[in-house]
Amino acid sequence: MNVKERYESAKEIYAAIGVDTDKAVETLENIAISMHCWQGDDVTGFDQKGPLTGGIQTTGNYPGKARTPEELMADIDKVFSLVPGKHKLNLHASYAIFEDGEFADRDKIEPKHFKKWVDFAKEKGIGLDFNPTFFSHSKVVDGLTLSSPIDEVRNFWIEHGKACIRISQYFAEELGIPCAMNIWIPDGYKDIPADRLGPRARFKDSLDQILSIPYDKTKVLVCLESKVFGIGLESYTVGSSEFTVNYAANNGIISLMDNGHYHPTEMVSDKISSMLLFNDKIALHVTRPVRWDSDHVVLFDDETREIAKEIVRNDAIDRVLLALDFFDASINRISAWTVGMRNMQKALLYALVSPNKRFKELQDTNQFTELMAMQEEMKTYPFGDVWDYFCEKNNVPVKGDWFREVMKYEEEVLSKRA
């Protein structure tokens, strides 16, 4: 049987348990995932040549890393050709593109420094999201930015945050798609601090100043992301979960949860329903933490599926700003991106073809034996045939054919990068 014939067979099997696969496929086609640009160059960016800081670490040296904006855009374009549907591109401020002889420090960046990204997005018909870059810069003094006790340092980063809001609004207005702008800072201390309140009070004041500038809240969706620890900040992180959730709730912005930014036994999938009860929107960075915030490539694993289930069965597709965040320099970067994006979509499709209403009824009537049995049976339903059809319908490679495209691109393009 061909892909369409296998799909028709799967469609009948799912229909017998009350699942409309046509509707599932149509729904998935309209879910945009924000793909992070920084997988392509190991979080290097274009505005400085120093090392990564802020507790961020990229390991590996696989050949073919993007070195220029043109190379990075070409790589991103290749990935989008292998991933079904239309998505968004997530940029960091460190990916500003300057003309020859031109430079603006991060507190002075302007929309013009991202015009080439906007032109790229227009050509591809996608939206852009944005992130101020509060790391890998000489103004990160003693590991602190927006919480620094040094006024000059803190003011520099406040101006950076304001500049990024203006750039985010430029993206939204040029592309006609709202821009999620996420704030994350690496501030913290390696050992037990003498003052936990002071840095957080300064961080709060810095955020207040950043958000004081006028901007269109329907176009710029400001998010605030927490973290539990990082390399060199094991004992105290200024932007803890308690801080960010409370600040967001009290200031009309969006809480962002990265599933690598919690203790290893905490599951973001378990947090989503609580957050949805008290927030119009939430934001997610989906990653794969291995014993810590290691940012491994997203797999089609238990937690990724559980995150997708929570989004789908709580009717929250339009309420969750969904993005990926990982970087692995030990493998082909095009493959890493493609695997992560396709796996996130697989997880969403798996949730969409689950009989969620029936599962809820079984739970509410205490029929946990049948619930377990049905949930386990779903794992061997012909989900793959629905996925293959979704790929074919969207004119992207089916099954492992995409990997041959990646290997061809490596041979013809990546291997020629010195």
Choosing from 187, 258, 303, 328, the catalytic residue is 258
Question: Domain range holding 160?
Answer: 31-353
**Domain presence at residue 133:** yes
Choosing from 75, 303, 310, 325, the catalytic residue is 325
DSSP string, 172-186: HHHHTS-EEEEE---
285 is catalytic: yes
pLDDT tens-digit readout, 9-34: 999 999 999 999 999 999 999 999 99
**Domain presence at residue 363:** no
160 is catalytic: no
Choosing from 65, 88, 261, 309, the catalytic residue is 261
30/161 Cα distance (integer angstroms): 31
Choosing from 65, 160, 285, 346, the catalytic residue is 285
Among candidate residues 205, 160, 202, the one with its CA nearest the CA of residue 183: 160
401/30 Cα distance (integer angstroms): 24
Determine contact, residues 328/74, Cβ cutoff 8 Å: no
Share of the chain above pLDDT 90, in %: 88
pLDDT tens-digit readout, 261-298: 888 899 999 999 999 999 999 999 999 888 888 889 99
76/35 Cα distance (integer angstroms): 9
Residue type, 344: M
Q: How many residues does the chain have?
A: 418
Determine contact, residues 295/260, Cβ cutoff 8 Å: yes
pLDDT tens-digit readout, 100-118: 989 999 999 999 999 999 9
**Domain presence at residue 343:** yes
Choosing from 41, 187, 225, 306, the catalytic residue is 225
CATH classification of the domain holding 307: 3.20.20.150
What SS3 state is found at 65? coil
**Domain presence at residue 16:** no
Determine contact, residues 167/110, Cβ cutoff 8 Å: yes
Structural domains in the chain (count)? 1
261 is catalytic: yes
Which residue is it, tokens 């009537």? Answer: 365
- Per the prediction, the chain carries an average pLDDT of 95
**Domain presence at residue 383:** no
**Least confident span in 44-48, 110-114, 391-395:** 44-48
Range list of H helices, 45-110: 69-80
20 is catalytic: no
78-102: average pLDDT: 96
**Domain presence at residue 24:** no
**Domain presence at residue 153:** yes
pLDDT value, residue 55:
61
346 is catalytic: no
Entry pTM: 0.96
Q: Which residue ranges make up the annotated binding site for Mn(2+)?
A: 261, 293, 295
Q: Which residue ranges make up the annotated binding site?
A: 261, 293, 295
92 is catalytic: no
Strands 88-92, 34-36: parallel, antiparallel or unpaired by DSSP? parallel
216 is catalytic: no
325 is catalytic: yes
pLDDT tens-digit readout, 196-227: 999 999 999 999 999 999 999 999 999 999 99
Determine contact, residues 136/45, Cβ cutoff 8 Å: yes
Share of the chain above pLDDT 70, in %: 98
For CA atoms 170, 176, 178, 180, give the dihedral sign: negative
281 is catalytic: no
Choosing from 137, 162, 227, 309, the catalytic residue is 227
**Domain presence at residue 103:** yes
Distance of CA 352 to the CA centre of its chain: 20
Determine contact, residues 137/48, Cβ cutoff 8 Å: yes
